Amino acid sequence: MAVGLFGGSFNPIHFGHLITSQRVMEIRKLEKIILMPCNISPFKVEASDILEGHGRLRMLELAVGNSPNYEIDNFELKKGGISFTYETIKHLKQMYGDIELIIGLDQLVEFDKWYKAEEIVNEAQLVVLKREIDNPEVTNIFTEKAVFVDTPTIEISATEIRERIRAGLSIDYLVPESVADYIKQEKLYL
């Protein structure tokens, strides 16, 4: 049975991440989802509002609790530097036979720019989240190697959550209550 690799900055994790990853796990019949917070995304090197790794890791722990459906792996945070998916997959291959890399359609469009993209699709099944609002016409050399999974359209973004916090607005119903409490307690994203 395969595991799903769902990486990202998770700055912070929100219900969009959880609902779509759960849907993929069910449809693809995965053993579990591995949540992998990146250290520095190669596409967000200049990002200035990314929370340090410990806080993002703690929010992931609070969000999924002891759920057997999720595992949190801090490989990229411990490794430091820019996080490359190929290196992460090689790390996970030491523990798991089959890995399915979960990405959004927007990431598939740019997949040819990923470090060792061809090697990634040789090591892991590419699973692309597709929403009703996504443009199905998008194709590139990786499209034929991908499996598309219809997922609900959930318009929640971590950027919007951070902006709401800075504006003094509620983030209830956007993130798990335990994550919202942690953000308030630690005075994050102000």
- 94-139 tens-digit pLDDT: 999 999 999 988 888 889 999 999 999 999 999 998 865 556 566 7
CA distance 28 to 44: 29
In single-letter form, the type of residue at position 167 comes to A
Domain spanning 3-153: which CATH class is it, in words? alpha beta
- The whole-number pLDDT of residue 140 equals 76
In single-letter form, the type of residue at position 170 comes to S
- Tokens 């194709």, located at residue: 139
Which residues of the chain have a pLDDT value below 50?
A: none
Q: Which residues are registered as beta bridge partners of 146?
A: 126
CA distance 55 to 60: 9
Residue-range domain boundaries for the chain:
3-153
CA distance 162 to 47: 13
- The whole-number pLDDT of residue 114 equals 94
Q: Give the orientation angle of helix 177-186 with respect to helix 53-64, to 10 degrees.
A: 150
pTM of the model: 0.92
